[in-house]
Amino acid sequence: MSDAVALAPRAAKVDLAGWWIAPPLIVLALLFLYPLTLIARAALIDDSGGLNLAAAFEVLDSRAFLDALLNTAEIAVASTAGCVVLGLTLGLILAFAPFPGAGLVARIVDTFIALPTFLVTLAFTFLYGSAGILNGALTSGLGLDHPPVDFLYSAWGVVLAEVTVYTPFVLRPLLAAFSLVDRSQIEVASLLGARPLRIVRQVILPAALPAIVAGGSLCLLLTVNEFGIVLFIGAKGVITLPLLIYDKAIQESDYQAACAIAMVNVALSLGLFGLYRFAARRLGG
Amino acid sequence: MTAAAAFHTAADSVAPKAPAGSGVTFDRVSVAYRGAVVLKPLTMTVAAGEILAMIGPSGSGKTTALRAVAGFVRPASGRIYIGGTDATDLPPCERGLAMVVQNYALFPHMRVSENVAFGLKARGAGRDLIARRVEESLRIVGMSQYSRRFPRELSGGQQQRVAIARALAVRPRVLLLDEPLSALDAQIRRAMVEEVARLHADLPDLTILYVTHDQSEALTLADRIAILKDGELSAIGRTGELYHRPPNRFAAEFLGRANLLPVVVEGKARDHGFVGVRIGDAKVVVSGDDHPAGSRRLMCVRPQNLTLTGDAERSNSIEAELREIHWQGELTHLVAAIGESILRVVATRLPNPPARGDRLSFFFSPSDANLIVEEAGV
Ligand SMILES: Nc1ncnc2c1ncn2[C@@H]1O[C@H](COP(=O)(O)OP(=O)(O)OP(=O)(O)O)[C@@H](O)[C@H]1O
Ligand SMILES: [Mg+2]
């Protein structure tokens, strides 16, 4: 008897908790899952409204798609590598060989996270563009006919802009990890005879590895999906997946093709995210 | 041949230049942080093969002095010599030293054996030498069976042994220890102190500079003790000498909480090296000379050198009123009052415990008491 009395309110509470979860789940589904399923649907169904896998596969087998996939991968990997190298170098200097004003530099680099990505690209155009400051100075200084510096309108320009924009995403977790490295470990190591490079390799980097992996995968994720920078630079022949999707959907109004490519892009992103989670878990524990 | 003997006869040292067991000389070394002087010009020598303990209250500059030897801070003035050569401008990695710190600072992602091998690899030792040294060093600290473990899989005491092995593996010219045992609990600490003592007995050439705030560690281990106070060397001397004849009030109180009673010198006693003094009405004989009659001094006598029964040797007696009595297992602590002064007594055996308020006679030997000039030193 007393048991039943004690149990009844608890059951009611559990029910209530269950209902609380429902609204956010519905919002989540509406916001994220529904658009995804729409895209998936659009990828597989042609204008007539029938299932058409052949069209989707045709898009994925095209030269344009494969080129874009390759471009995306190359640019993302190169940019991420650049971000990691630059982030590591900056981070090591800021954390372990601070100069007067190092804190200010770290904060300025940090604020880059807040800026829109195309802003840097715009600035690059002013600096290195065909009518930019550098080319202007060179053409008038050396009396040339053509602007000599044209790397900006190539994959290199995209990589340079992405490295500038995304390095803070590596630097920030790195600085956090570096600040946790036990200074006495570094001192003991140096007294044992280790020079700075060995200390970086064997003492600091192993401690910062999770941060490097986390920052690096975040960079990879962001650069795979980068749209604004590639569009703004507008280099001929540098077409990445997001840009191809844009072209198909907006320029050619070929929604099925756009959605089919988008699915690949989503799969790529989710795969990278899964890898990142896996690495983070392995390294964290 | 014991492990330790093998350890020191092998000729294949990878330490830079000088052989293991060099001394350290501070020559007017001062250190300042952003203009604030935390170590005033310090001159002292740690002899090769000796254990010198640096003790002093928190913030007195012990760690700073050690860090100057290691090369982690640049002296504002003065020179530091290691093994007779000027090391003031050498980077830490070229000083041929090793250090053990309070939090062990083991490399967490390396196994025990890799931790111990670290310094040898950094100094470019060959693979055979590394293997042999790692094995020897771990055996000396009794950690051979743990070589495959990671630091997080060890207890605090075991981690500290590994840290010591890591330092020993490179055969440092001087081993620097900064409160190496203070993170351990009392029981393990006592065992580890004995172990460090054994270690030094096995490696008699090893020079050790040992920073601690625990005076019992210093008394147990050190050949000599340096007492720092407010960034200044207050006293330095052989351990027993410093303990029995502290040169100043601070040394007397810091090292073993001596009783300091104001006295007036009466004059030389009959035996050479002793003087008669007056405490209130009582007249006692204490060791000392060169104290002019009529001058005021502090008489220093240790709590454990006072007893409730006299004999031929404990010929001095003073009367005091018992204020407190604390029984602590084997020892009983008594606090008594002589006029304005407090007298602390530690008794080992008390068949008939006195009561508070009793007037008691305390006895001590003339050679267990000495005089301090109140203003001497710091
Ligand atoms: N990096 C630093 N910057 C500024 N002041 C410092 C620095 N390191 C130490 N000090 C100051 O120097 C003085 C001596 O410090 P030190 O660490 O040598 O003391 P210690 O004798 O080792 O004390 P403890 O027993 O607490 O370890 C202290 O007043 C401390 O505040
Ligand atoms: Mg200290």
Instruction: Provide the 3-class DSSP secondary structure of residue B335.
Output: strand
Q: Which domain holds residue B342?
A: 257-372
Shared domain for B185 and B270, answered yes or no, is no
Shared domain for B192 and B238, answered yes or no, is yes
Neighbours of B231 (CB within 10 A): 22
Instruction: Provide the 3-class DSSP secondary structure of residue A51.
Output: strand
Does A77 map to a domain? Answer: yes
Closest chain B residue by Cα to residue A188:
B99
Separation CA B245–CA B239 (nearest Å): 10
Residue B273 phi/psi, 5° resolution? 85, 10
Shared domain for A42 and A92, answered yes or no, is no
Helix/strand/coil (H/E/C) assignment for every residue in B271-334: CCCEEEEEECCEEEEEECCCCCCCCEEEEEECHHHCECCCCCCCCEEEEEEEEEEEEECCEEEE
Contact B170/A207, CB-based, under 8 Å? no
Percent of chain B scoring above 90 in pLDDT: 60
Identity of residue A35: P
Shared domain for B179 and B295, answered yes or no, is no
Tokens of A2: 């007393």
Separation CA B249–CA B258 (nearest Å): 9
Q: Is residue B53 over pLDDT 90?
A: yes
**pTM for this entry:** 0.81
Residue of B238 and A8 predicted with greater confidence: B238
CA distances to A168, B87, B97 from B93, rounded to whole Å, are 33, 11, 8
pLDDT grade for B20, boundaries at 50, 70 and 90: very low
Q: Which domain holds residue A23?
A: 19-51
Helix (H) or strand (E) holding A162: helix A155-180
pLDDT grade for B21, boundaries at 50, 70 and 90: low
Count of structural domains, chain A:
2
Distance B32 CA to ligand 1 centre (A): 10
pLDDT in tens, B73-129: 999 999 999 998 999 999 999 999 999 999 999 999 999 999 999 999 999 999 999
Shared domain for B261 and B228, answered yes or no, is no
Evaluate whether B44 touches B26 at the Cβ level (below 8 Å): yes
Separation CA B134–CA B276 (nearest Å): 60
Q: What is the pLDDT of residue B113?
A: 96
Identity of residue B249: R
Separation CA B220–CA B193 (nearest Å): 8
Tokens of B317: 């007696």
* Domain C-terminal end among B244, B273, B297: B244
Shared domain for B221 and B349, answered yes or no, is no
Residue of B201 and A118 predicted with greater confidence: B201
Q: Which of B99, B102, B159, B209 to mutate to test the interface with A (most CBs of A within 10 A)?
A: B99
pLDDT grade for B284, boundaries at 50, 70 and 90: very high
Identity of residue B246: P
- How many helices (H) does chain B have, and how many strands (E)? 9, 19
pLDDT in tens, B317-337: 999 999 999 888 888 899 999
pLDDT grade for B19, boundaries at 50, 70 and 90: very low
Contact A194/B93, CB-based, under 8 Å? yes
Partners of B369 in the β-ladder? B301
Q: What is the pLDDT of residue B17?
A: 42
Least confident span in A115-124, B190-199, B337-346? A115-124
Distance B57 CA to ligand 2 centre (A): 9
Check which CATH number belongs to the domain holding A89 and give it.
Answer: 1.10.3720.10
Which residues have any ligand 1 atom within 6 Å of their CB? B 33, 38, 56, 58-64, 213
Separation CA A5–CA B132 (nearest Å): 73
Q: Which residues of B touch A185 (CB under 8 A)?
A: 105-107
Q: Which residues of A touch B98 (CB under 8 A)?
A: 188, 191-192
Q: What is the pairing mode between strands B207-211 and B51-55?
A: parallel
Separation CA A87–CA A82 (nearest Å): 8
Identity of residue B112: V
Neighbours of B260 (CB within 10 A): 20
HSE (CB half, 13 Å, CA atoms) of A148?
10
Contact A194/B118, CB-based, under 8 Å? yes
Q: What is the pLDDT of residue B210?
A: 95
Q: Is residue B370 over pLDDT 80?
A: yes
Contact A191/B107, CB-based, under 8 Å? no
With vertex at residue B267, the alpha carbon angle to CA B264 and CA B272, rounded to the nearest 5 degrees, is 125
Q: Is residue B18 over pLDDT 60?
A: no
Q: What is the pLDDT of residue A6?
A: 45
Residue ranges of chain A whose pLDDT lies below 50: 1-9, 11-12, 285
Q: Which residues of B touch A207 (CB under 8 A)?
A: 108-109
Q: What is the pLDDT of residue A14?
A: 53
Chain A nearest CA to B171, separation (Å): 10
Q: What is the pLDDT of residue A16?
A: 62
Shared domain for A157 and A34, answered yes or no, is no
Check which CATH number belongs to the domain holding B63 and give it.
Answer: 3.40.50.300
Count of structural domains, chain B:
2
pLDDT in tens, B141-190: 889 999 999 999 999 999 999 999 999 999 999 999 999 988 888 888 88
Does A5 map to a domain? Answer: no
Shared domain for B106 and B229, answered yes or no, is yes
Q: What is the pLDDT of residue A195?
A: 94
